[in-house]
Homo-oligomer: A and B are copies of this chain.
Amino acid sequence: MKLQLYTDRMSQPSRAVLILCKASGIDFEEIKVEISKRQQLSPEFEAINPFKKLPAIVDGRFKLFESSIIICFAIPVPVRGDGSMWFNKTSFIWNSEPDICHAILIYIASAFPGVANHWYPADLTRRAKIHSVLDWHHLNLRQGAAPYILHTVLAPVLGLPSSRQAAAEAEKILTSSLSKIESIWLKGNGRYLLGSFQPSIADLSMVCEIMQLELLDEKDRDRILGPHKKVQQWIESTRNATKPHFDEVHNVLYKMKLKLSLQRSNQVEGVKESRIKTPLTSKI
């Protein structure tokens, strides 16, 4: 029986697991669980993961899943007849934030002989450093990137309540995390974390997290990522090391970026039109 991956490519940890499997030539079955359709709440999926979260895997009789704190998260759902994803205020559901996939990445890298050693080195000291980075990801980068995207891109675009203060605080954590990645984790001769010359599961996990910033508008993305040239090079190195899988798996994100960008343009056009129709003098 093939390894089964329960994933939604809109979630960054799902993408990290998929890229590792594809880059390692693992024969797997991708079972799409669409968060936008609440499929992760079904009794069938609950039997796989009692926390009802993604990603999850089944390897023979072994089930492994992730679980995290429930955070309100808005997911757009298709509302047009042609199946395209578009937004209106009634077209989304509340859901939980997708989870981090460290335990799954470690299991796959350990259990499948096809996975190259550099992803999760057998050497105990190198492995320990990777665990240390993964712990750091949980409590730093993740705590900045996820709420920042929520309070800037998703909430305002979808008409959900958002908090400028929460966005500002998340941006501080995110910016500080990106600085620490450059000054501490990317220190050394190699192109990857911990000065390595080849990527590990920590690179994959963190780069997939930062890729969520693709959903920002260009101005915000440039303000945040612009000063971090080493981070940009590192993303590019990880992309190159896993091509063509990296872009193929991230394609859903690029499409969403385009749709959000179009929506922003339409909103601006709408505001312009509204100003013409309702001149300021009409208020007097």
Contacts and interface: CB of A to CB of B under 8 A. Distances in A.
Contacts of A184: 50-51
Given A64-B128, A67-B139, A100-B135, 19 more contacts: A50-B184, A51-B180, A62-B125, A62-B128, A64-B129, A64-B132, A66-B135, A67-B132, A68-B139, A69-B139, A69-B140, A69-B143, A99-B139, A102-B135, A103-B128, A106-B131, A110-B124, A110-B127, A135-B138
A102 B62 CA distance: 23
Contacts of A131: 102-103, 106-107
A132 B56 CA distance: 11
B143 A128 contact: no
A256 B79 CA distance: 58
A173 interface: yes
A111 interface: yes
A146 to B, nearest CB: 11
- Secondary structure of the A side of the interface? helix
A107 B173 CA distance: 28
A77 to B, nearest CB: 26
Interface in A90-137: 99-100, 102-104, 106-107, 110-111, 124-125, 127-129, 131-132, 134-136
A222 to B, nearest CB: 25
A246 interface: no
A65 interface: yes
28 contacts: A50-B184, A62-B125, A62-B128, A64-B132, A65-B132, A66-B135, A67-B132, A67-B136, A67-B180, A68-B139, A69-B139, A69-B143, A99-B139, A100-B135, A102-B131, A102-B135, A103-B128, A103-B129, A103-B132, A103-B134, A106-B128, A107-B124, A107-B125, A107-B131, A110-B124, A110-B127, A111-B128, A138-B139
